[in-house]
Amino acid sequence: RDGYAWWVERVRRIFELVDYVRIDHFRGFAGYWEIPADEPTAVKGRWAPGPGEALFKAIARALGPLPIIAEDLGVITPDVDALRKEFGFPGMRILQFAFAGDASDRFLPHNHEPDTVVYTGTHDNDTVAGWWATATDHERHFARGYLATDGHDMPWTMIRAAMASVADTAVHPMQDVLALPSECRMNHPGQGSGWWAWRFQWSQVHPWHAGRLAELVRLYGRAPAAN
């Protein structure tokens, strides 16, 4: 009725604070699971159409090009993928998810596409060091072979794999740059307290961290083109 004015102003304000916005549960904008208010669980419900292209067209008319990353994890139907591609929003690939299956897994770097953002892990994942400590035997065997590693430096091995991906953007949580354990993970979905508390200290950061990242940026051509 009002041209999605609330959404437009919310996104406008976010872009005053950050350069890129990641939309969580992007699939809900194409279709969402509607549950009656008196249902005690989410089992009984129905799929309802989301606002779809009308919302993003309204935001784009007001704000111009939208530097948005679409969280397209889980079961993604063709309408969700079509909406993402219509507006040029890159999807996501999470390396920690890559080794539970086989060579066809879409999270493996050789299956990535340019219009994606590759993460070693997100705020909802364990740190790479923590993930590796609890990985299954299959994941360990597959990852060692795929990444040509003995597993002794998995955070930076995964950072290198992300940098080598054809994904246009690579993201590495600070916990992985610092090779920190599970105690430093950001969040654990489904657990309501005790999270979002981790902060890094500048005393943890050393010049070699920047040097190593810079080396990988140069090696895999991720440096911005010179003017």
149 with 118: CB under 8 angstroms?
A: no
Active site residues per annotation: 24, 71, 124
CA distance 77 to 84: 11
8 with 62: CB under 8 angstroms?
A: yes
